[in-house]
Structure 1
Amino acid sequence: MNDALPPALRTQLDTHLAAGLDTLGLDRALAGPLLDYLALLLRWNRTYNLTAVRDPLEMVDKHLLDSLAMHPFVAGIAAAGGTLADLGTGAGLPGIPLAIARPGLRVTLVESNGKKARFMREAIRRLSLADVRVAQSRIEALDEPGRYDAITARALATLPLIVELGGHLLRPGGRLLAMKGVYPADEIAALPAGWTMLESHPLRVPGLAAERHLVVVGRNDDRDASARP
């Protein structure tokens, strides 16, 4: 089946996405592969209900640009050829857009749902994303301790639960880069012993008026070590 977007719609989406990429400081050339991913997601979504958002323009804002708003925080990891695990990624968000925007970033998409895992494998194949893999697994069952420079999650769970489920995946010095809406003060206060918030950054997502934050969480001993002379 043809995955191509109708030309008029593709032009509309390209214009909208390009403006968002400009705002985020990203190359407009990324619009092509990002829209190829979106076209595939739209087709699969008609059958498999991968995401509740169905309007293509909404998907540009709520899926592509929202995912890409955190790209500065994985730039250093990508430049070093480092590793990121996207926990409970669903249809590959934010992991696939980040992999497109930041070549060199080695992304593992962690998802237990079989339909979503099949979609992501097809997207990886179609988009030739050599540094992206799917781990079809529950987060807590993924037996890759200490493998990742960072883990991320988008609208998955509270900070304490993300740490409980996926903290074992982080190498020493690794970071949880959690995408949140309003500043999650209660979740930060409830982080388990041994974990602390290191940074919080407001995110500007083009096309979205909703409040967004990127919360960086690490182990206490990592923070203490970095403070030593």
Structure 2
Amino acid sequence: MDEVGEPRGETLDASDAETLGTSDAVRQYFGGSYDKVAQFAALLLEQGELRGLIGPREVPRIWERHILNSAAVVPYLPSSGSVADIGSGAGLPGIVIAIMRPDVEVLLVEPMERRTVWLSEVATTLGLGNIQVKRGRAEEFHGAFEADAVTSRAVAALSKLVRMSMPLVRPGGEMVILKGRNVALEIEPARKALRSFRAGEPEILEGVTVPGVEATTILRVRRGK
């Protein structure tokens, strides 16, 4: 994982994080999505380390560093249409998006077979009929589909990510990605790639979830028509 979720100040310690998922603040934040989000978190806690999806040090921080970090991107995504999650891995943020945006078709793009098996199992267990799991690298699907938005988390530097993701964004759609706090430094090296898609000026946004949990840095850029 890259710097996504890297602490930017005082955050919850491990003991706090263990109870974060059952707090009133988190329940209120997710609202009607809470039960399925909590079920997904429980699956990650039970199987994530065993199946090589998360490291052992991440287990006590599932909610703070992974679930809420992923949820922070959702307000910047469309409420209908389609979203593709590139390098979906454990389903972060793709599974969280699918739960919180039930009217959006969510495409989970992941090259590793064991991870696609996991993603399919989770979609079935949680009854997420709005998910399609696509095994392969993002580049293998260039020309195969276009989504209204493409997201990713901890995948690659922006210059590479633009080349991987923008061909999957429909003209006029957006790339909305979770990045580390130093993403501004990645914009200039990505200019050439962005120009090739007639992209607009990248926006750096703050994804806020619940009190006591650091905000997530999000970069959004629109593909030209």
Alignment counterpart, residue 218 of structure 1, candidates 204, 213, 222: 222
Contact kept in structure 2, 1:84 and 1:150, CA below 8 Å: yes
Identity of aligned residues (%): 30
Q: TM-score, normalised by structure 1?
A: 0.79
| Higher Rg | 1
Q: Which AA in structure 2 matches 1:19?
A: A
Q: Distance in 1 between matches of 2:206 and 2:50?
A: 36
CA 156–205 in structure 1, closer or farther in 2 if over 3 Å, else same: farther
Q: Which AA in structure 2 matches 1:201?
A: L
Alignment counterpart, residue 35 of structure 1, candidates 31, 35, 38: 38
- Per the alignment, residue 213 of structure 2 pairs with 208
Contact kept in structure 2, 1:151 and 1:170, CA below 8 Å: yes
Matched ranges for 1:1-229 at <5 A: 12=19, 14-16=21-23, 18-22=24-28, 25-27=29-31, 29-52=32-55, 56-74=59-77, 77-78=78-79, 81-145=80-144, 147-191=146-190, 192=193, 193-194=195-196, 195-206=199-210, 207-209=212-214, 212-219=216-223, 221-222=224-225
Q: Distance in 2 between matches of 1:56 and 1:31?
A: 19
CA distances 1:10-44 after superposition (whole Å, capped 9, x unpaired): x945423x41353xx441x3221112112222232
Q: TM-score, normalised by structure 2?
A: 0.81
Q: Which AA in structure 2 matches 1:62?
A: R
Contact kept in structure 1, 2:184 and 2:204, CA below 8 Å: no
Shift of 1:118: 0.6
Q: Which AA in structure 1 matches 2:113?
A: G
Give the root-mean-square deviation of aligned CA atoms.
2.2
Residue correspondences, number: 202
CA 40–89 in structure 1, closer or farther in 2 if over 3 Å, else same: same
Contact kept in structure 1, 2:49 and 2:59, CA below 8 Å: no
Q: Which AA in structure 2 matches 1:42?
A: L
CA distances 1:60-103 after superposition (whole Å, capped 9, x unpaired): 111111111112112xx22xx31000001111110111111121
Contact kept in structure 1, 2:21 and 2:63, CA below 8 Å: no
Q: Distance in 2 between matches of 1:168 and 1:21?
A: 37
